[in-house]
Amino acid sequence: MDVFSFENLKLYLRVALRHWKGIVVSSLGATLVISLWLFSRPDEYVSETEFVPPDLSTASPLLREAALVPGTASDLERVYSYLNSFALRQALIDSFNLYTYYHLDRESSPRKRAQALNAILNRVLDVRITRNSTILLSVRDTSPDHAYAMTAFLVRQVERFCKGIIRMDESLQETENQLQKLSAEIRSLEESLSSLRVKYRIFTSGENRNGAISLGGPEALAHYDKVLSQETRLIRLQEAYARLLEEKIRREDFLKVYPQVIFIIQPPYKPIFTSGLSRWLLFLITLVGSFILSCILFLYAYYIGLLPDKNTSYKNRVQAAVSSNL
């Protein structure tokens, strides 16, 4: 005969009804303890953001055909590793003074303090690569403002990390520095040419249609080759300056078209609702679970003889019925 047959279920019900007071008291006691723990915990809020890093191999403005496209698996892994790196966590700790925020500054041992904070960050920070090849970043905190601020900070750090790899701002700055150097060299060369022309009245065929020297003589002829060489170099520098100026304009346009290097699907937001299930729903689940567990424990205790019973024959019948079915 099956243990869960109708006859055995009636026996279990009789045992439960016989000890209903103990079951109810133990259920309420367990529910009260768990509920006090649940209601004593502060509410937690979760701020999330979802984004895709760029393809770091093709996004550099230094490339002629530079463009921002969604990153590959290697780019996701690189950003994921950065989000879990010690350098980023240390920047987060310093920016938000987390030792004081989590009341760990009273700990005298730096090792224990660092381990405790690391355990907290492992719980409140969650970084995942989703099936859609995106990075989902969530921050959990008792303050919605603090959770949002930490999420926004991490997104800014990721963008800074990506810009550092593709050198967006550095490439434009490098171009401007090269333009300044070329401009200074062109001015110096023009001043030297102007001085030679005024002093010796030397003009090349490009400026004098006849290609002659206005005031001939050995002294002027001695500097003619120098003037010709400097003018040729000046033309080359002016051409290089024009090409570099076009490159600067192209890189400026690139920064205007792509002001943000990461593709944000869900921007960071300030949560307004607490995370997880409602406390009253958890209370109801705890109550039902405690009642079921108390029934099971009382039935088992009755079966092994831990509960006193005046009706020994009835107890023997219950044990005999259960043992025969097992």
pTM: 0.59
Q: What is the pLDDT of residues 246-294, one digit of tens each?
A: 777 776 766 666 667 788 899 999 888 776 666 677 778 887 888 888 8
Cβ-contact 165, 57 below 8 angstroms: no
More confident residue, 166 or 47: 47
pLDDT at 181 over 50: yes
Given a cut of 50, is residue 166 above it in pLDDT? yes
Q: In this prediction, what percent of the chain has a pLDDT beyond 90?
A: 23
Say if CB 286 and CB 34 are below 8 A apart: yes
- Residue 39 region, left (φ>0) first, then alpha (ψ -120 to 50), else beta? alpha
The secondary structure of residue 52, as a DSSP letter, is E
At 208 the pLDDT is: 45
C-beta of residue 266 within 8 angstroms of C-beta of residue 225: no
Residue predicted with more confidence, 143 or 325: 143
pLDDT by residue (tens digit) across 281-325?
Answer: 777 888 788 888 887 777 777 666 666 554 444 455 555 555 555
